[in-house]
Amino acid sequence: MTDWTATRAAGEARMAAFVPRMGRRYANGRNTDAGPGQHKAVSQLSPYLRRRLLLESNVVAAAIAAHGPEGAEKFVQEVVWRGYFKGWLERRPQVWASTRDGLERDLASLDKDRRLRRAVADAEAGRTGLACMDAWAAELVGTGYLHNHARMWFASIWIFTLGLPWRLGADFFLRHLVDGDPASNTLGWRWVAGLHTRGKAYQAQAWNIATFTNNRFTPRAADLADPVQALDHLEPEGLPAILPLRAFTAPRPAVPTALLITEEDCRVEDFDLASLDIRATWTLEASHLRSTGAVADGVVRFERAALADAAARTGRAAEALRAGVPSDLAAWAVRAGVTQIATPYIPQGPLRDWITAAMPALEARGIALTEWRRDWDSAIWPHATAGFLKVKERIPKILAELLPPPAQGILPGL
């Protein structure tokens, strides 16, 4: 496992070190997977952005300030993609629900199908016989990270060459990726499978793998399946309805409050804590909710350290809790003598499922769950109604509204 230091200070130091490469060097080199320990052309800031130890707006502002709107364009777009995927899933919560339920069926199939169980185990352990696939599996398990291009190749080969259920592959990633995000991971796998952009699957091609691994891997074209001919094993599904964004209640001042810190947002100091009557501060470990399988130790360690760092920056003593029985949340609130729980917004994913399951007990005790939603999300999510192009076209306007004045003056040409 890569030694990720899970603090805001470490994230900011990594960002500062990468700022000189956020321009043309990133645009020209970002597609090349140079191998473990050699990912110099990409930022590897994703574990920090995923938990908001770094803020997207700050990273984007740094890129534009250093390279101008045109030079930073590709880097900015990739950061905005993360927000687009989160917003897309927020607008279509039934996609997350169907993925979760489908995964349960896929896991049940493993118990009944010895051949499938062996094939999945071999793919996860790097025993497929495809050198590139086996190396990527080893890197993922060993470091908690994969280059984005490798993630696409891996998912394509998993689905179309090996013929394995895509949700089991997504589960494998989510268990091991330190930057594992329910929206980006789920929708990335759906995109490769041809479910996100209907009928347009991503095909891992031998020449592409050879070119963008600098010939570290040179698979034969005959070893890779054509997704057009392999789509039949995917479950058909209708177009998901686009729903309004979920309504939420902002924290109220002067109410006995418990401050809840989760890995969804580890910068609670950005919010107006001074106006709240905070009686208790909690950190909630929840990375184990990612899967019914074993979540990698490195993922758990990063979450635990990030939560501890977030709590320390509040200047308050925090109690470390673990998401178990959902009704525990109400019991903790009663014990603390609070009638309000305040937390940064919790989007679609395993933790949102857990919170939803906790709501009946909270409501029965008269305890309000309140949330802050960041301006970045509020600016991007409403536009995640179709493909990324709709959001991409609005990037200049979105950033003009969000970035501090020094950056605004160079945005019109983006």
Over the stretch 138-170, which tens digit does the pLDDT of each residue have?
999 999 999 999 999 999 999 999 999 999 999
pLDDT, tens digit (0-9, with 9 covering 90-100), for 206-245: 999 999 999 999 999 988 976 555 554 566 567 789 999 9
pLDDT, tens digit (0-9, with 9 covering 90-100), for 191-210: 999 888 877 889 999 999 99
Q: Please say whether the beta carbons of 413 and 69 come within 8 A.
A: yes
pLDDT, tens digit (0-9, with 9 covering 90-100), for 251-271: 999 999 999 999 999 999 999
Residues 333-357, mean pLDDT to the nearest whole number: 98
Residues 44-63, mean pLDDT to the nearest whole number: 97
How many CA atoms does the CB half-sphere of 414 hold within 13 Å? 30
Same domain, 99 and 229: yes
pLDDT for the residue numbered 219: 95
Same domain, 135 and 227: yes
Same domain, 115 and 186: yes
Same domain, 153 and 276: no
Same domain, 193 and 109: yes
Q: What is the CATH number of the domain that holds 324?
A: 3.40.50.620
Residue 170 lies inside a defined structural domain of this protein: yes
Q: How many residues does the chain have?
A: 414
Q: Please say whether the beta carbons of 91 and 242 come within 8 A.
A: yes
pLDDT for the residue numbered 411: 43
Q: What is the CATH number of the domain that holds 124?
A: 1.10.579.10
Same domain, 98 and 204: yes
Residue 251 lies inside a defined structural domain of this protein: no
Same domain, 66 and 101: no
DSSP 12-74: HHHHHHHGGGSSHHHHHHTT----TT---SS---HHHHHTTSS-HHHHHHHHHHHHHHHHTHH
Q: Which of these three, 181, 200, 233, is where a domain ends?
A: 233
Residue 38 lies inside a defined structural domain of this protein: yes
- For 325, residues 6+ apart whose C-beta sits below 8 A from its C-beta are none
pLDDT for the residue numbered 409: 44
Residue 246 lies inside a defined structural domain of this protein: no
pLDDT, tens digit (0-9, with 9 covering 90-100), for 285-339: 999 999 999 999 999 999 999 999 999 999 999 999 999 999 999 999 999 999 9
- Residue 320, helix vs strand vs coil: strand
pLDDT, tens digit (0-9, with 9 covering 90-100), for 56-102: 999 999 999 999 999 999 999 999 999 999 999 999 999 999 999 99
Same domain, 214 and 326: no
Residue 414 lies inside a defined structural domain of this protein: no
Q: What is the domain extent for residue 16?
A: 8-90+378-408
Same domain, 98 and 84: no
Same domain, 203 and 282: no
Residue 247 lies inside a defined structural domain of this protein: no
Same domain, 131 and 209: yes
d(CA 68, CA 66): 6
Whether the per-residue pLDDT at 47 is higher than 60: the answer is yes
Residue 245 lies inside a defined structural domain of this protein: no
Whether the per-residue pLDDT at 1 is higher than 80: the answer is no
Same domain, 85 and 98: no
Residue position matching structure tokens 């090349």: 32
Q: What's the structural domain count of the chain?
A: 3
pLDDT for the residue numbered 231: 52
pLDDT for the residue numbered 191: 94
> What are the tokens at 32?
């090349």
The band of 407, judged by pLDDT with boundaries at 50, 70 and 90, is low
d(CA 135, CA 35): 9
Residue 250 lies inside a defined structural domain of this protein: no
- For 246, residues 6+ apart whose C-beta sits below 8 A from its C-beta are 90, 93
Q: Is 131 exposed, middle or buried (0-12, 13-18, 19+ CB in 10 A)?
A: middle
